[in-house]
Amino acid sequence: MAWLNGLGATDARAFLARAVRLDAGAVVRLRSAGDDRVTLWSHLPWGVLVSRAVPGHVDGDHTVLARELLTALDGDLPTLRDSEWRWSIPGDPGAVVERIPAADIRRVGEAAADTLRTAAAEGVGGRAVGSRVLRDALLDHVPIVVTTATGERVEIPQRLVQAAVRMGFTMSDRAAARDFVDVRKSGPWTALACAYGSAWHRAAKTLLIG
């Protein structure tokens, strides 16, 4: 019996194709979201979890290779690889602490990409800098800070912005009627919840199984 409702094929394909493009060996975890929906989770190479809910049904949690699932959307799940999932997942969707125009998120992401290209080509302060050093510094940069009603500062690192942009979650689409992004907090997790999926980051350096 196929796990995916045919109505969700386009959304699932878009999510999986981008995950594979960013990491050919990416695994994806399928978890029931209730109401005949399945949430797809994947871990990007720069330490951010991404998720998208699609119509479908699974019993329990299952982990498979993203590229294998991408070629088998109309059939059963491919070979299970549950032992290869090594990251915790937020326990709930969290509370919205701020709403930001999606255009602002796209702008911040594009500016970072331009900065990286310029620095790689011209160096920084006239000095050549390794591409990995540039990338890591860029991902650690905090371009957005919001403050909750209780006065807590919530930092949105560039790695979270890049995840949302590069997974296509912030694409402008009038049909979606939602060109904004919610900043959410769930315990130690911070999320950018967009029209086409969510990106999650945990401040701790190591994401433990949970």
Indicate whether 2 pLDDT > 80.
Answer: no
Q: Domain containing 174 — which CATH number?
A: 3.10.150
Predicted pLDDT at 115: 77
Indicate whether 210 pLDDT > 80.
Answer: no
Which residues have CB under 8 Å from 67's CB, separation 6+? 16, 20, 24, 26
Taking only the tens place, the pLDDT of each residue in 144-188 is 999 988 889 999 999 999 999 999 999 876 555 568 999 999 999
End residue of a domain, out of 57, 84, 111? 84
Same domain, 78 and 102: no
For residue 132, being part of any structural domain is answered with yes
Indicate whether 195 pLDDT > 50.
Answer: yes
Give the pair of three-digit tokens for residue 140: 């650690």
For residue 210, being part of any structural domain is answered with no
Nearest Cα neighbor of 40 from 32, 48, 29 is 29
End residue of a domain, out of 40, 56, 84? 84
Indicate whether 1 pLDDT > 60.
Answer: no
One-character DSSP codes across 63-113: EEEHHHHHT-TTSS--S--GGG------SS--EEEEEEEHHHHHHHHHHHH
Same domain, 124 and 53: no
End residue of a domain, out of 36, 57, 84? 84
Predicted pLDDT at 113: 82
Distance CA 188, CA 180 (A): 23
Residues 31, 89: contact at Cβ < 8 Å?
Answer: yes
Count of the separate structural domains present in the chain: 2
Same domain, 159 and 185: yes
For residue 90, being part of any structural domain is answered with no
Same domain, 147 and 76: no
For residue 25, being part of any structural domain is answered with yes
Taking only the tens place, the pLDDT of each residue in 20-38 is 999 999 999 999 998 899 9
Predicted pLDDT at 100: 95
Predicted pLDDT at 207: 43
Distance CA 168, CA 15 (A): 8
Taking only the tens place, the pLDDT of each residue in 35-81 is 899 999 999 999 999 999 999 999 989 999 999 999 989 888 999 99
For residue 1, being part of any structural domain is answered with no
Rounded to 10 deg, the angle between the 131-140 and 158-166 helix axes is: 100
Give the pair of three-digit tokens for residue 153: 């500062």
Question: For residue 149, what are the domain limits?
Answer: 95-202
Same domain, 78 and 99: no
SS3 162: helix
Record the pTM. 0.88
Taking only the tens place, the pLDDT of each residue in 86-137 is 999 999 999 999 999 999 999 999 998 887 777 555 555 555 555 666 677 8
